[in-house]
Homo-oligomer: A and B are copies of this chain.
Amino acid sequence: MCGTTNTRVHSKVRDTLSSMTESAQAASRQEQKGRTRQAILAAALELAQRQGFAQISLRQVARHAGIVPTAFYRHFDSMDELGLALVEQSFSTLRRMIREAQRDPKVFDNIIDAAADVLVEAVKQSKAHFAFVARERVGGSEAVRRAIRHELDLFVSELAVVLARLPNIENWATEDVQMVSRLFVRNMVSNAEEVVEMPDGRPDLEERIKDGARRQMRLIVVGFRDWYPAEARSSPLDPDAR
């Protein structure tokens, strides 16, 4: 009665992903499993963008990923676990970008513009992940919220280390560096929110947001410079603060 041909029926995300790997057909078991897992993650991410992760259902995700609801459990124990996986994925993307940017010598010349560039570029490239983090940071389930908060705290500390290495900052009090870092990250989150909420076909606004982010970072830095009035005049932090 049942017993359909199984593998590769109607599917949205899964087919797309499969066709991306040109030499596709050699589907070793775990490769295929990984692919379906990615399909689930992608489906959840896309659906979450419209309605928020907390209000999408397991069945919706499964439908969008091209699998039957019960198959979901082969990959995640619950929607909460899916959410945590998405948090992890989002931050690993973000961290990779920061690490790459760190190699760029431009950072030493002009942190602010570099940071603004990285921010806008990163958000543009993986908008969905940023949207996810921005939204679920306050709107998600307890577990997801906690995970994001933790990751953001880690990120603040990492950025503080980077900042502390810059000339003219190395003699700041650690807690002040930490505070600047926290403000930068907060600023990043705010601007990510703005990009996310941005009407779809208006890339002109992007430049405005980027400019705003730059000005705000400069503001933070100028404010802080006043706390270290003596030597911090020609810091790389504000090469041309108007």
| A binding-site residues for B, Cβ under 8 Å | 52, 54-55, 134-140, 145, 149, 179, 183, 186, 190, 193, 197, 215-216, 218-224, 226-227, 241-242
Which residues of the other chain, B, contact A139 by a CB distance below 8 angstroms?
A: 52, 54, 135-136, 138-140
In the complex formed, the residue of B with least CB distance to A220 is: B219
Contact of A138 among B55, B183, B193 (CB under 8 A): B193
Which residues of the other chain, B, contact A224 by a CB distance below 8 angstroms?
A: 219
Contact of A219 among B137, B149, B223 (CB under 8 A): B223
**In the complex this chain forms, how many copies of it are found?**
2
In the bound assembly, the distance between CA atoms of A197 and B134 in angstroms comes to 15
Task: List 20 contacting pairs A-B, 8 Å CB cutoff, sorted by A.
Answer: A52-B54, A52-B140, A54-B55, A55-B55, A134-B138, A135-B138, A136-B139, A137-B138, A138-B197, A139-B139, A179-B215, A183-B219, A186-B190, A219-B219, A219-B220, A219-B223, A221-B223, A222-B223, A222-B226, A226-B241
A214 to chain B, nearest CB (A): 12
In the complex formed, the residue of B with least CB distance to A190 is: B186
In the complex formed, the residue of B with least CB distance to A179 is: B215
A72 to chain B, nearest CB (A): 20
In the complex formed, the residue of B with least CB distance to A186 is: B190
A206 to chain B, nearest CB (A): 18
Which residues of the other chain, B, contact A137 by a CB distance below 8 angstroms?
A: 138
Nearest 9 CB-CB pairs, A to B? A139-B139, A219-B223, A223-B223, A222-B223, A222-B226, A135-B138, A54-B55, A52-B139, A135-B139
In the complex formed, the residue of B with least CB distance to A242 is: B227
Which residues of the other chain, B, contact A190 by a CB distance below 8 angstroms?
A: 186, 190
In the bound assembly, the distance between CA atoms of A136 and B145 in angstroms comes to 14
A221 to chain B, nearest CB (A): 8
Contact of A54 among B54, B221, B226 (CB under 8 A): B54
